[in-house]
Amino acid sequence: MPVRVLCGENALVQAKDWIASLGKRALIVTGGSSAVKSGALAETIRLLGECGISYRIFDKIEPNPHTATCWAAGKEARDFCADFLIGIGGGSPLDAVKAIGWYAANEALSPDDIYGDRTGWKKPLPSVLIGTTAGTGSEVTGIAVLTGQNGRKKSIGGAGCYGTLAVCDYRYTLSVPYGTTVSTALDAFAHAAESYLANNANILSGSYALAALPLVWEGLRHFYETGKLPDQKLREKLYIGSLLSGLAINITGTLFPHAIGYVLTEECGIPHGKATAAFAPVLLERAQRFAPKKAQDILNLVSCPQEELVAILRSLTGVHKLFTGEQAHEIARRWEQQVPANFLRSPGSFTASDGENALLSLQ
C-alpha cells in the first residue's frame, strides 16, 4: 500500500511540504458540497497559496462517478497543464481522481478505455486524497469504482490506482448530514466484515478488519438507538474505522454483497453503503455455514447476537423487497455470463443462483 498517509487533526498542515513537492499547478476535484461545508476546500486553497501553487477547480463529480465525467476532468487537467490532482470529498471524488490521473496523462483514451489493459500507458498524474466521509476507505485503497457508459458500476484497480498522499482528518467529516453518515458507516462495516470473511484473508487483513469492526459498530448502534448524529469523539472513531476497513479490503477485495449492491444503486438509486449492507445478513448467515468460527468472531467483537445484529442492519439500511422473481432472475443472468471476483472470494461456492436468492431475500 504505497500511499503516504498523514492522519490526525490538522493533517493538512503536516502535508504542506509533501504537497509542495508535487508541482506548481493542481486540479482540485470535488463533487456536491462536502468540500465546502467541511472546510477542507478552504484550508486546501489557503495551503496552496502559501506554497505558490496555482489551482483550478473541477466540481462536477456525481455520486457513483461516470467514466465520461472523469474523462472530461482529465481533459481539464491537461488544458490547465496540471502537475498533480487533489481530490476532496467522499468515495466518489476520491475514486474519480484515481481514474482522472490516467485520463490526464493519456490523451488518446476514450471514457471506457479505463477498464481495459493499461500496459504501455503513461503513468497517471500524482494525487492527493482528502476524505470528508467515514465509509469508503478510498484514501488507502488501489481500487476505484466507476459507472461506465452502459450505466453499470465496475471497478478498476492496480498499482496505478493509488493516491500519492492521503490527508486523513476526521474534522472534515463533522458536517456530514445524518443520512450520509449512516450510509457511509454501513459501507465501512460491510468492508470490515467482508474482508474478514473472505476466502483469501490473511493475518494482516484480519487484524485491520477486527480493529475496525468495534469502532464502526459503536456508531451503527448509536444511530439505531438514538437516530442522532454522532458527537466529535464518535466521528473520529468512525473515520479511523473507515480507514482500517479500507486497509483490510485493499488486501482481500470485497465479497458478493458489493457486487449485488451495485444493482440496487444502478436500478433503484439506493446509496452505496445501504445497498451493500442490505446483503450483510445473507453474508452472515452464509458464514455460519462455511466459516462459523469467523462468524462468531464478528459477533463477539460487536457484543451482539446475530438476530439483533441483523435487525439493526435492516433497520438502518431500510431496504425492502425491490424485485419480482422474474426481475431477479434476469439480473442474475449477468453473473452467469461473467462470475464476479467478489463471488469467488465469498465463503462457500457463491453462484449466480445464490445472487438471485439474495435479491429475493430483501424483506
Band (304; pLDDT cuts 50, 70, 90): very high
**Is 178-360 a CATH 1.20.1090.10 domain?**
yes
Distance from CA of residue 350 to its chain's centroid? 23
At 251, list the grid cell. 488486501
Q: Please give the average per-residue pLDDT across 289-308, as a whole number.
A: 96
Report H helices in 269-305. Answer: 272-277, 280-290, 292-302
**2 CB neighbour count, 10 Å cutoff:** 8
Band (20; pLDDT cuts 50, 70, 90): very high
* 3-class state of residue 257 by DSSP: helix
Residue 363 has pLDDT above 80, yes or no: no
Residue 356's pLDDT is what?
Answer: 96
Residue 324's pLDDT is what?
Answer: 94
Q: How does pLDDT run across 160-196, given as a tens digit for each residue?
A: 999 999 999 999 999 999 999 999 999 999 999 999 9
Residue 151 has pLDDT above 90, yes or no: yes
Q: Mean pLDDT score of the chain, rounded to an integer?
A: 96
Residue 338's pLDDT is what?
Answer: 87
Q: Which amino acid is present at 141?
A: T
Band (269; pLDDT cuts 50, 70, 90): very high
Burial class (CB in 10 A: 0-12, 13-18, 19+), 17: exposed
At 210, list the grid cell. 477486527
Residue 203's pLDDT is what?
Answer: 97
Band (337; pLDDT cuts 50, 70, 90): confident
Range(s) within the chain of domains with CATH label 1.20.1090.10: 178-360
Q: Please give the average per-residue pLDDT across 231-236, as a whole number.
A: 98
- Distance from C-alpha of 306 to C-alpha of 12, rounded to nearest angstrom: 41
Range(s) within the chain of domains with CATH label 3.40.50.1970: 4-173
Distance from CA of residue 175 to its chain's centroid? 19
Residue 266 has pLDDT above 90, yes or no: yes
Band (349; pLDDT cuts 50, 70, 90): confident
Q: What angle do CA 336, 338, 340 make, to 5 degrees?
A: 105
Percent above pLDDT 90 for the chain? 97
Angle between helices 203-226 and 178-197 (to 10 degrees): 150
Residue 175's pLDDT is what?
Answer: 96
Q: Are strands 165-168 and 84-89 parallel, antiparallel or unpaired?
A: unpaired
Residue 226's pLDDT is what?
Answer: 98
Q: How does pLDDT run across 23-66, given as a tens digit for each residue?
A: 999 999 999 889 999 999 999 999 999 999 999 999 999 999 99
**CATH fold of 4-173, please?**
Rossmann fold (3.40.50)
- Distance from C-alpha of 313 to C-alpha of 212, rounded to nearest angstrom: 17
Q: Please give the average per-residue pLDDT across 201-227, as a whole number.
A: 98
Q: How does pLDDT run across 121-147, given as a tens digit for each residue?
A: 999 999 999 999 999 999 999 999 999
Among candidate residues 211, 214, 279, the one with its CA nearest the CA of residue 246? 211
